[in-house]
Amino acid sequence: MSNFKLNIFTPNGVVIKGMECNELFIPTTSGEINVLKDHTHVLSEVSTGILTAKTGMGDRHFSMTSGLVKVLGEEITVLSTTSEKAEDIDIERAKSAKAKAQSRLSEIDKLTSIDQIKFKRKLERADIRIKLKELHKN
pLDDT digits (tens, 9 = 90+) for 108-135: 888 889 988 888 988 998 999 899 888 7
Rounded to two decimals, what is the model's pTM? Answer: 0.83
| Number of other residues whose CB lies within 10 A of the CB of residue 94 | 21
Measured N-to-C along each axis, helices 113-137 and 91-105 cross at an angle, to the nearest 10 degrees, of 150
What is the reported pLDDT for 39? 87
Q: Which amino acid is at 72?
A: L
Dist. CA 84–CA 126, nearest whole Å: 12
pLDDT of 49 > 70? The answer is yes
Mean pLDDT for the stretch of residues 68-79: 94
Mean pLDDT of 73-97: 91
Asked if residue 41 has pLDDT above 60, the reply is yes
Cα atoms in the 13 Å half-sphere on the side-chain side of 101: 18
Report the pLDDT value the prediction gives residue 10, as an integer from 0 to 100: 95
